[in-house]
Amino acid sequence: MKILVAEDDTLSRVMLQKSLERAGYEVIAVNDGARSIAALHADDPPRLALLDWVMPEKDGIEVCREVRSHRDRPYTYLILLSSKESKREIVEGLEAGADDYLTKPYDEEELKARLRTGERILELEDRLVEARENMRFQATHDPLTSLWNRGVIEELLGREIRRSQRENSCTVIILCDVDHFKQVNDQYGHNIGDDILRGLARRLQRSVRSYDMVGRFGGEEFLVILNRCDPDSAMTRAENLRAVVAKKPFPTRANPLPVTISVGVALSNDFQQHNLEEILAAVDEALYSAKNAGRNCVRRAQVTKPQATNEAPQTV
């Protein structure tokens, strides 16, 4: 594990470095506070740090405060080293953000034990962060396809439409539905159906730009949001998605299966006075036009009169 040793006295620094290297640590040694901060803010920084209290440039207390002011960074376990040993000074060190405190001359075994404590706390912190990230992912993604789930993709759509209204740009909303999916499930079983959905998710995701968004909207329905899109190319891009799906059969745990999708498309420019619900209803209607037209084709949503309400005209 990497560890920072910040100590201005050469002899103390060399002794500490040697002792920690013998204990298996990868030591980064610096001789002042400014270099400590630079090392702790570098890429792949040490997560453990031994800081001398009295140092030139910035002292150990200032380094602690600086490190703790960056709450977005991974946690660093800070141990202050000093010959100051009054309760007031120890409290000052801990209040500045140090996790632990060792008075000089320190006992080597005690130092190593305290470092092991630091490692345990960092490990716990990493596990907590990982658990939080997993929970966040589960709350926002569809478990089968790992795409955005319906709640999130609708929220993203609302945000993109508001932005396109502000910027006078165009957001393209594409709703895709797998043709005859019920037959796939009935004939081959749900596992094969799941393989198709996973494969389709991957294929859609790979066919859009990195800043476009793809979500699972329902059982076999997928919503694609193309932001800042040229309105003239919207239908072509939707047609490309349809073609990329129909082009090659999808590998499954059994045999590859040919799959097609029907596609409804709406352009935000056409729906300036409509709310999100109305836009989604229009694109859904376009999708069913594509189904009625024989499937495996693309249809554009028609602008309808916004629903009359008692409120002022509502935009998304």
Report in angstroms the alpha-carbon separations of 3 from 20, 154, 212: 9, 45, 41
Residue 303 engages another protein in binding (rule: CB under 8 A)? no
Q: Which of 204, 206, 193, 205 is nearest to 257 (CA)?
A: 193
Which C-beta is closer to another protein: that of 109 or that of 232? 109
**Single residue of 1, 23, 34, 54 touching another protein by CB under 8 A:** 54
3-class secondary structure per residue, 262-275: EEEEEEHHHHCCCC
Closest contact distance (angstroms) between CB of 101 and another protein is: 16
In the region spanning residues 108 to 167, those forming contacts with another protein, defined by CB under 8 A, are: 108
Residue 89 engages another protein in binding (rule: CB under 8 A)? no
SS3 content of the chain, % helix, strand, coil (to 5): 50, 20, 35
Backbone angles phi, psi at 269, to 5 degrees: -60, -30
Closest contact distance (angstroms) between CB of 142 and another protein is: 57
Q: 3-class DSSP state for residue 207?
A: coil
Which C-beta is closer to another protein: that of 14 or that of 131? 14
**Single residue of 41, 73, 104, 132 touching another protein by CB under 8 A:** 104
For residues 287 and 177, the answer to whether their CB atoms sit within 8 Å is yes
Which C-beta is closer to another protein: that of 14 or that of 128? 14
Residue 24 engages another protein in binding (rule: CB under 8 A)? no
Q: Which of 180, 227, 226 is nearest to 207 (CA)?
A: 226
Report in angstroms the alpha-carbon separations of 72 from 49, 64, 68, 69, 75: 18, 15, 10, 9, 9
CA angle 82, 85, 91 (to 5 degrees): 95
Interface region with another protein, contact rule CB under 8 A, candidates 7-15, 133-141, 223-231, 265-273: 7-15
Which C-beta is closer to another protein: that of 105 or that of 143? 105
Beta bridge partners, 43, equal: none
Closest contact distance (angstroms) between CB of 83 and another protein is: 6
Structure tokens at 97: 């953000």
Residue 103 engages another protein in binding (rule: CB under 8 A)? no
**Single residue of 10, 187, 236, 273 touching another protein by CB under 8 A:** 10
In the region spanning residues 65 to 84, those forming contacts with another protein, defined by CB under 8 A, are: 83
By CB under 8 A, name the binding residues for another protein: 8-12, 14-15, 18, 22, 54, 83, 104-105, 108
